[in-house]
Structure 1
Amino acid sequence: MFKRLLFALAGTLVVLAGSARAEVDANYRMVLLTENFPPYNMAINGKNFAQEDNLDGIAVDIVREMFKRAGIQYNLTLRFPWDRIYKLALEKPGYGVFVTARLPERETLFKWVGPIGPDDWVLLARGDSPIILNSLAEASQYRVGAYKGDAIAAHLEQQGLTPLTALRDQLNAKKLMAGQIDLWATGDPAGRYLAKQEGISGLKTVLRFDTAQLYLALNKEVPDEVVEKLQGELDKMRGEGFVDDILNNYL
């Protein structure tokens, strides 16, 4: 009799625990932060502050759909600077930041959902260019355009190249088409997006010299079941072709 009571009590506790978890999921709300980083995240008005429907971009569309499918509530804000929103996600339970590279030194600082998309460093050329490269060193014989103050430009300099820098990266797309530079060192898909905004297409990738994947980074206090739900929905979206469709819409 006593054993049967114990089993009954245990069963009741399991049911209650399941109900409590369902209630937590239904009422759980996250604060998601991002920055202007076209074409992944951007304010529709181009400013450094925007909320909810005033945001656009590849990652914004993917994250919105992912949270919708998972049934998890959220608030979405674009702010500046990056260091500030990264610190908030690192320190505040229920916060997340996107998109960011999943680097070894960050691995244990967050819980991760992704990848959402790539952030590669590439050398682009006009579609009719005969240039063929096997290494970054081989690019030293060409005029290489880059974005002034950008990490890519700094990397080229560290590798012994002397990039011709522009104050806005999209200017390099125009310079490439005008024959003022032979190669454009930029991000992918960022470069292709910026070129499209200038009415330029058909550029070809001559060299991919660095690669990374971008993720949604969640505070370590975010419940594992929330992380698993989001990852599961993202995996389904990728399998359905939803992620590729969003990427293609912007490029």
Structure 2
Amino acid sequence: MLKGFCLALISVIGVLAGPSRAAEVPADTMVLLTENLPPFNMAVDGKNFAQEANIEGMAAEVVRETFKRAGLKYSMTLRFPWERIYNLAREQPGYGVFSTARLPEREKLFKWVGPVGRYEWTLLARADSPITLTSLEQAKSYRIGAYKGDAIGERLLAQGLTPILALRDQDNVKKLLSGQIDLWATSDPAGPYLARLEGVRGFKTILRFNTAELYLALNKATPDVVVNRLQQALDQLRAEGFVDKAAARYR
């Protein structure tokens, strides 16, 4: 799907000169995929499929405005599950996926534009839980729920923990309430936001164990001139305060 990008490379070498050269950017439409990860990206109706204006969230707003500023065409679709859309973006030229953590083990799998958001990795428990932790090592004796394919669950596995993986992160809200898991490995602000959507408040943070930035990950076949154009546009938006204002609307 990115054939046109490659054919047009000669005509777009000057694209980085500024917004006035937007006409030289390839006209191909990049396919952007995302998931329900409130408050960063989510379907307006809360379902697991949405397109274009029916997708909202702080990162979705930032990505939209970045493409607009860069003069690049795109389509945006929210689908389920995360693992599927992540692999589509990794394998298919012309595809991108957001919001995803830029981890060392993922660095060479994509080309990156961002950050489009920032979050903390946390372990949450019920309000009446007696659990106290100062390290992930201490969590090994507990049942931990995590989201399949997500960076947080992958990190737990890499560190020798055995999280119980759910196809939807919000499923862990009910599992924690019912006692099926002792801890929920999620993020702040996404975890508390998901819990509120399920009508649940009062989960407490047992451990904060990492801070990560979220990115738009583009297929490796994406020309560098396009990646640079997008990054330049995002940097301009951040300098103008757009990114902070978008985040504030969902806090």
TM-score, reference length from structure 1: 0.68
Say if 1:238 and 1:174 are closer, same or farther in 2 by CA, change over 3 A.
farther
Q: Does 1:109 align with 2:109?
A: yes
Q: CA deviation at 1:111?
A: 1.0
Other structure's SS at 2:99 match? strand
**What is the alpha-carbon distance in structure 2 between the residues aligned to residue 220 and residue 161 of structure 1?**
31
The equivalent residue for 2:88 is 88
Q: Does 26-35 or 48-57 show the bigger shift? A: 26-35
Q: Which residue of structure 2 aligns with residue 38 of structure 1?
A: 38
| 1:36-85 Cα distance to aligned partner (Å, 9 max, x none) | 22222222222222111111122211101111111111111112233332
1:33–1:78 Cα contact (<8 Å) kept: yes
CA–CA separation in structure 1 for the residues paired with 2:13 and 2:139: 61
Match of 2:25 in 1: 25
Over the matched positions of the two proteins, sequence identity in percent amounts to 56
Matches within 5 A, 1:76-225: 76-124=76-124, 134-136=134-136, 146=145, 155=156, 168-171=171-174, 185-197=185-197, 205=205, 207-225=207-225
Task: Give a deviation string over 1:133-186, Cα, whole Å, max 9, x none.
Answer: 543456799x99856979768949x878999x99834458979xxxxx997653
Whether the 8 Å contact between 2:69 and 2:233 is mirrored in structure 1 is: yes
Shift of 1:120: 2.8
* Separation (CA, whole Å) in 2 of partners of 1:233 and 1:212: 22
The 1:200–1:216 alpha-carbon spacing in structure 2 relative to 1, beyond 3 Å, is same
- Change over 3 Å in CA distance of 1:124–1:218 after alignment to 2: same
**Residues 12 and 25, structure 2, Cα contact 8 Å, conserved in 1:** no
- Aligned partners of 1:193 and 1:250 also within 8 Å: no
2:50–2:79 CA contact under 8 A, matched in 1: yes
Task: Give the aligned CA root-mean-square deviation in angstroms.
Answer: 4.3
Distance 2:189 2:118 in 1: 7
| Matches of 1:41 and 1:70, distance apart in 2 | 21
Structure 2, unaligned runs of 5 or more: 1-9, 16-20
Amino acid at match of 1:40: F
Q: Distance in 2 between matches of 1:148 and 1:40?
A: 16
* Structure 2 match to 1:62: 62
Name the aligned partner's letter for residue 187 of structure 1: S
Whole-angstrom CA distance in 2 between matches of 1:196 and 1:171:
12
Letter in 1 for 2:102: R
Distance 1:231 1:171, change over 3 A: same
Matching residue of 1:9: none
SS at match of 2:61: helix
Q: 1:227 to 1:167 in 2, by over 3 A?
A: closer
The aligned counterpart of 1:231 is 231
Distance 1:91 1:210, change over 3 A: same
Distance 1:16 1:105 in 2: 31
User: Counterpart of 2:228 in 1: which secondary structure?
Assistant: helix
Q: Distance in 1 between matches of 2:199 and 2:81?
A: 30
Q: Does structure 2 conserve the Cα–Cα contact (< 8 Å) formed by 1:173 and 1:195?
A: no
Does the 8 Å CA contact 1:145/1:172 hold for their aligned counterparts? no
The residue identity in structure 1 corresponding to 2:53 is: D
For structure 1, which runs of at least 5 residues remain unmatched after alignment?
Answer: 1-13, 176-180
CA distance in 1, matches of 2:232, 2:124: 35
Query: What amino acid is aligned across from residue 62 of structure 2 in structure 1?
Result: I
